[in-house]
Amino acid sequence: MSPLDVEHLRLGTRASRLATTQSGFVARRLTELLEHPVELVHVRTQGDADRTTSLSALGGTGVFVAALREALLESRCDVAVHSLKDLPTTQPAELAFVTPEREDPRDALCARDGLTVETLPRGGRVGTGSPRRAAQLQAARPDLEIVDIRGNVETRLARALGEDADLDAVVLAFAGLSRLGRTEVVSEVLDPAVVAPAPGQGALAVEARSADLADGGPLAEAFAALDHRPTRLAVTAERAVLARLEAGCAAPIGAYARLEDGELVMSAVVGRVDGAEQLTHTARVAVGPDLADAAADTEARELGVRVAERLLADGAARLAPLTAAAPPAPREPQRGPTGTDDPEVP
């Protein structure tokens, strides 16, 4: 393979507004760090007629992630930006990622008339395609009717706030709305104790070929500067819960970790999708003063495993089909195809 040209770095992105916004943010940071312009290249994610590599071989059901990874491995781009919560928990050895500082990880209720989870009318209709959000909303408000919705951010918002709205509210990640400059539609930011976010929600993964980072050169230095250790430790713990539960992307699992006074604190929840029962567990571990120490990553991962094992001991597998496959991809190219946590469209 030809050596990496850091003076003409290509950052691969999907075409959706959220994807290009996130990629644009990272491209600007990398441009500053490398002192060379970074070029955005669009990666087609669907209907590529000449696809040769099996997407599932690249990491399961995350179609968008897989398409970007394929572009990296085929050297059609040098860097790719993913929403961390869409990344499978198994990491291909050929690729490595860093995590910039996380946005607000919470979910946001976007309701008509400024309604909140507490003030929604009896039997109110709330749209989400995420079993995790459905399970926790039903646990808080068993009377609500959860409506399965797909589509990009604007499509979903229109279901509750548009002229032809047929729902009282939809739930979206606050981070996505914030990156799009649309937080004015939020009527309530949901307390993680009521609705625990998806593992990795609000964080980005900036990924490159491991071989291009191995030499400690300018790209490796730029990646090190992008990496935010508190974010890394939190998402490592959260993703370890998923991995230990061997959970599929459609499983109703929330996990939320944060650093508090030198301790990594994590809560995780597994619920029945109908909200009738849920299990939660919280644990904490002291992380040394040096967050960059590899031992801190190990502590974080072990915290996640410990919490997952407590949930399993309490009967998590009985509550929810943890390994449930994603629903089949809808045919229309405009709709979200992966069945991940409220899929975003290309």
Ligand X SMILES: NCc1[nH]cc(CCC(=O)O)c1CC(=O)O
173 lies in the binding site for ligand X (CB under 6 A): yes
Piece of 167-175, 185-193, 283-291, 312-320 that binds ligand X (CB under 6 A) = 167-175
Cα–Cα distance for residue pair 109/124, rounded to 1 Å: 13
Out of 201, 231, 236, 267, name the contact with ligand X by CB under 6 A.
201
* Cβ-based nearer residue to ligand X, 154 or 290: 154
Cα–Cα distance for residue pair 186/231, rounded to 1 Å: 24
199 lies in the binding site for ligand X (CB under 6 A): no
100 lies in the binding site for ligand X (CB under 6 A): no
* 298-335 b/e (C-beta count within 10 Å ≥ 16 → b): ebbbebbbbbbebbbeeebeebbebebebbeeeeeeeb
Q: Where are the beta strands (DSSP E) in 22-152?
A: 39-42, 79-83, 95-98, 107-111, 125-127, 145-147
Strand partners, 267: 256, 282
Smallest gap, in angstroms, from Cβ of residue 127 to ligand X?
A: 11
Listed residue (107, 99, 263, 101) closest to 172, CA to CA: 107
Out of 202, 248, 254, 337, name the contact with ligand X by CB under 6 A.
202
Active site residue 212: no
187 lies in the binding site for ligand X (CB under 6 A): no
Please give, one letter per residue, the 3-state secondary structure of 302-315.
Answer: HHHHHHHHHHHHCC
Out of 69, 85, 141, 272, name the contact with ligand X by CB under 6 A.
85
For residue 171, which phi and psi values (nearest 5 degrees)?
Answer: -115, 130
Question: Site map for ligand X, 304-343, x if CB under 6 A?
Answer: ------------------------------------xxxx
Given the residues 5, 48, 78, 86, select the one marked as catalytic: 86
* Cβ-based nearer residue to ligand X, 14 or 301: 14
Which residues of the chain form contacts with ligand X (CB under 6 A)? Answer: 83, 85-86, 172-173, 175-176, 201-202, 340-344
Catalytic residues: 86
